[in-house]
Every structure is written in structure tokens, then in C-alpha cells.
Amino acid sequence: MAKSPESEHPIKAYGYAARDTSGLLSPLTFSRRATGDKDVRFKVLYCGICHSDLHFVKNEWGFTTYPVIPGHEMVGVVTEVGNKVEKFKVGDKVGVGCLVGSCRSCQSCANDLENYCPKQILTYGFPYHDGTRTYGGYSDHMVADEHFVLSWPENLPLDSGAPLLCAGITTYSPLRHFGLDKPGMKVGVVGLGGLGHAAVKFAKAFGAEVTVFSTTPAKKQEALEGLKADHFIVSKDPEQMKSAASSLDGIIDTVSATHPIAPLISVLKPDGKLVLVGAPEKPLELAAFSLIAGRKIIAGSAIGGLKETQEMLDFAAKHGVTADIELIPIDYVNTAMERILKSDVRYRFVIDVANSLKAP
């Protein structure tokens, strides 16, 4: 018989869990494993709320096992390390993002691309090496193999830096990989939510000229004045889209709702790249000739490996890139989820875990 979350491991833990497809989160006493030779244990101080947390707690992707404790944008302070840990010591500030395990032997892992390992282990809701399930950062503490723990730069704020562990790396990685990280590149960003605002900030930090595409005209001021984008285009206005034809080197498309991509392909230069980081439910409609005519590329990208994620954090610290956040107590989390559904957040909720999660 399977053990309960509270009894499967020796170290008592406390967090907020969803227990069914309602997605409602409430307190749960559970347990975490003892600190292994290569493990780092840390007190969670802050944890960002990602839109995928909402999908997961409601089982909208069809593979959630309950109870589930979400959260893959967590930062904290090390309280214990295993006797073979080399990179961290008690008192260090650290982060854990979307991954806590991989096979460490495939070609992707050998190339520091654990995010493309076929046996990757996500930070919550996935079977770990020992057969138990992983639990995320809406909790009082975390334990992870040191390979999947990130060193937190001294001058990067913990609270507004936390969302970089998902939203940050999800946009930084394709900008780097597809060569859109050079000064003077003309880069488009589609959608101005948690991912989109991070994409704008990183592209600007790389020295790009940035155009924001949105269906919401009211976002023009926040795009241009708040985020310092260079141009703003209402993507459902054919005249505005026509005026931008063949002007961009690449586009980061962060939108997860179904939307037409043909107009976006039309604003790419020859050899331009449209990179999808949002995942609409319905298949894309695509005329092959729109790609053939300009040797254009449609690609996808998912988070980043551990080496690149560390590089991203260090870059963010150097260039002052942080997320725009609303800091909340953990008992506000269900309201926050409702507001995320309505896109009523600028641009990321972060849970003040240390100051609001109290064990019974």
C-alpha cells in the first residue's frame, strides 16, 4: 500500500496543495527525504506563481496526480548540505527552477541541456528516482540534488528575481540560441504577460530594438514607458501589421491562447525566426509558402539547462533584469490563481513564503 505524503519520507514539511481538479489550494503536512550525500536542503523564502501551476492544479494537461504542491520558481537559504556537496554551504542563497532531475547520461544531458532529457524530472508532480512524487515551492523547505540547485547572485533581489527561474530562462534561452542576443537586432515579442515582459527586458538588455505585439491597445503605454520597448503594434490591426512587414530578425511568441501566426511570419525578414514558447491547445494553421518565400523558420523552445539558467541569473544580476511582481501571502494564493485566469497581474505573483506560511 502506498504511503501517505506525510509518512513516505522522514523529514516533516508543510505546504499548500491542490487535492482535486477544482485546483483549490489548502494547507498540507507532507514529508521530504533526508539530506543525501549530494543534496542541498534550503528554507524557501519566496516562490513565484507560474501560469503552468494553474494548468497543473486543475489537471488541464491530463497527468496530474493529487495531492500536488506546485511551485517551480523558488529561492531560499541553505540549511543543510550532504557530505559530498561541493558547490554550496549553509547560509548560501540558492534557487530551484523547473527541474530537479534527469538521467545525466544522454546526449542532451552531456550537452548541458537537461531540459531536453527524455527522463527529466519536473520540480513538482513527477516521479522522482526513488519512486516518490516531487513537491514544489509552495512549501516551507526544499531538498534537491546540488546539480539542480542554482547559486543566487548577491545583487539579484530574491523576490523579484524568483520568476526568472521559469519566465526568465524560457525567454533568455531562445534569444541566445537563435542569435537574437546581439546589439541592433530587431526582435518582436508577442504577448505582454509574465513571459512577454521578461522577453522584453532581456532583449533590451542584449541591446535589441524591441517591438511588442499585443491584441490589447491599452497595453501600449506600459510596453513603451514601463518596459522601454521601442515600438508597439496592435496585432489584430492589419494596417499596423502591414507597416511592419519584413522588418524583424526574430520573434519570441509567448501567447498560449490560440492565435493566427501567418501575420507574424509576414513581419519577419528573410531568414527570420518565429520561436514559440507559449503552447496553444489547438494546432497551428500554417501556409508552407509563407516560410518558403523567405527561408523563414518556426521553432520552439522550453526553459533551459542548468548551466544556461545559471548564466541567465548572472546576466540578470549584471544588467538589473528582474520581474515586475506583486508580493502576496500564501493564503491569497487561490485569489491569485483566479486573477491569473483574468490576466489581472502585472506581471507575476510571488508568494512571500517565509513570512506567511506557518506550520500548525
Predicted confidence at residue 37, as pLDDT, reads 98
| CA-to-CA separations, 254 to 51, 91, 122, 187, 207, in angstroms, rounded | 12, 36, 21, 13, 20
Residue 77: Cβ within 10 Å count: 17
Q: Can you give the pLDDT at residue 281?
A: 79
Nearest residue to 210 via CA among 228, 192, 194, 234: 228
Phi-psi region of 112 (alpha: psi -120 to 50; beta: other; left: phi over 0): left
Give the whole-angstrom CA distance, residue 24 versus residue 9: 25
In three-state secondary structure terms, 180 is: coil
55-69 tens-digit pLDDT:
999 999 899 999 999
- 139, 320, 111, 88: CA torsion to nearest 10: -50
Confidence band (pLDDT; 50, 70, 90) for 2?
A: low
Range with lowest mean pLDDT among 192-201, 207-216, 255-264, 279-288: 279-288
Say how far apart CA 335 and CA 358 lie, in whole Å: 19
Question: How many degrees, rounded to 5, is the angle at CA 108 between CA 100 and CA 83?
Answer: 40
Task: Tell me the per-residue pLDDT of 183-218, one tens digit each, with 9 for 90 and over.
Answer: 999 999 999 999 999 999 999 999 999 999 999 999
Amino acid (one-letter) located at 346: R
Partners of 241 in beta bridges: none
Cβ atoms within 10 A of the Cβ of 316, count?
26
User: What number is the average pLDDT over the span 58-87?
Assistant: 96
Q: Read off the pTM.
A: 0.96
**CA gap 73, 225 in Å, rounded:** 27
Instruction: Give residue-wise pLDDT tens across range 131-175.
Output: 999 999 999 999 999 999 999 999 999 999 999 999 999 999 999
- Per DSSP, the three-state class of 287 is coil
Q: Are the beta carbons of 25 and 52 closer than 8 angstroms?
A: no
The DSSP string of 195-224 is: HHHHHHHHHHHTT-EEEEEES-GGGHHIII
